[in-house]
Amino acid sequence: MYSFEPSDEQKMLLDAVSRYATNDLRPAAHDAEEGHEFPLKLINKGWEIGLLQASVPEAYGGFGERSVLTSVLAAEELAFGDLAGALTVLLPGLFVLPILLAGSEEQKQELIPPVIEADWKPYSAALIEPFFDFDPSDLRTTAKADGDNYILSGEKTYVPFANKAEKMLVYAKLDKTTRGFIVPAGTAGLKVADEREKLMGLNALPFYRLTLENVRIPKTALLPGDFGPVLDSSRVTLAAMAVGVAKAALEYSRDYAKDRDVFGVKVAQKQAIAFMLAEMATDIEAIRLLAWEAAWMLDKGHTEASKTAYLAYTGAVDMVMMVTDRAVQILGGHGYIREHPVELWMRNGRGFATFTGLAVV
């Protein structure tokens, strides 16, 4: 039976997330981007809402059960506040959730509770590689079995907090498929770049390059499960975050257009602008529903879940680019000035085509 109404429980959670996104993340976003850092206190406040904790069962230190749909609703709200902030708050999930989804019982028992039960701390994951045709299902980083060990070799990029994370997951190709490996900081051969990466957006979040030169790890470091569910989750999360960023851009440009005078009327009273806004709103709604359906399918284990998550993500990449570009256009010259947030949303919007694996719920 169709329904498009979140449950009361979901509404309560979304309320808390929305308050945090609007009152904490959004006001801090500009300075964080320009100053290249979020205050830890602010991030920890978001962490304490307990989104990740609610996705982890009690047996591993959490207090809930993972629902992709609920998490996706929350992800949209967070990203509505600020994308870099949203990714930072959810960062420990990059480490915990793949273990929950693909880890052995021992790995879950050992690795999840210390993350979940503590304050926010940087953990990380290395998936993206520095090549134009990077494909999460066909990695160039390799894992080779050698006695009781695996040996990892390759290059990674966009690895968040790689300098501070005490443990991370590294994805590599093993027997033609993508697999996750637990790699503690300081493992021999694991080289974190000295300098932060310089990107077009997401400057509030420190990213590093990583070189793996014959990194030797024990066989127990391999997550026994498939990478597929992690990728599906990442795609649907990014789709929802793109919706959040797009919604922010729509609302900001709408309010601006209602306020600004032109030729004796408000900008928004011109069809050229009003139609742009109508199309932005329609596209946002369409992709939001596709992301919801994909999330719902993932929760149900639906046979079309993986494909739908892929479609939602791919659609979201185009939608958020179109919407954020138009938001800048509606503000005209003012949209190009960094005092207004729309240019940041446009930079972030373009990044969704690249951000695979930077969020998992």
Binding site for another protein (CB under 8 A): 1-7, 10, 69, 132-137, 250, 254, 257-258, 268-269, 271, 274-275, 277-279, 281-283, 285-287, 289-290, 292-293, 296-297, 306-308, 310-312, 314-315, 318, 353, 356
Name the 3-class secondary structure at 56: coil
The DSSP-derived string for 190-252 is EEE-SSPP--SS-TTS-EEEEEEEEEEEEGGGB--S-SHHHHHHHHHHHHHHHHHHHHHHHHH
Is 110 or 226 the residue whose CB approaches another protein more closely? Answer: 226
Is 208 or 292 the residue whose CB approaches another protein more closely? Answer: 292
Least separation, in Å, of the C-beta of 116 and another protein?
26
- Cβ-proximal residues to 349 (8 Å cutoff; 6+ apart), any chain: 242, 245, 246, 249, 320, 321, 323, 324, 325
Within 103-192, residue ranges assigned H as helices are: 105-116
Least separation, in Å, of the C-beta of 269 and another protein?
6
**Strand duo 207-218 + 190-192: pairing:** antiparallel
* CA gap 84, 202 in Å, rounded: 5
Least separation, in Å, of the C-beta of 126 and another protein?
17
Least separation, in Å, of the C-beta of 5 and another protein?
7
Is 94 or 250 the residue whose CB approaches another protein more closely? Answer: 250
Is 54 or 274 the residue whose CB approaches another protein more closely? Answer: 274
Q: Which two tokens stand for residue 255?
A: 């309010």
Is 149 or 314 the residue whose CB approaches another protein more closely? Answer: 314
Is 44 or 282 the residue whose CB approaches another protein more closely? Answer: 282
φ, ψ of residue 125 in degrees (nearest 5): -150, 145
Least separation, in Å, of the C-beta of 145 and another protein?
26
Residues in the chain: 361
Least separation, in Å, of the C-beta of 318 and another protein?
8
Please give the helix or strand (H or E) that residue 322 lies within, else none: helix 305-331
Least separation, in Å, of the C-beta of 133 and another protein?
5
Is 64 or 114 the residue whose CB approaches another protein more closely? Answer: 64
Least separation, in Å, of the C-beta of 165 and another protein?
26
Radius of gyration of the chain (CA): 20
Number of alpha carbons in the 13 Å side-chain half-sphere of residue 172: 28
Judge whether 280 and 319 are in contact, CB under 8 Å. no
* CA gap 142, 230 in Å, rounded: 19
Is 117 or 135 the residue whose CB approaches another protein more closely? Answer: 135
* CA gap 105, 82 in Å, rounded: 35
Q: What is the DSSP letter of 21?
A: I
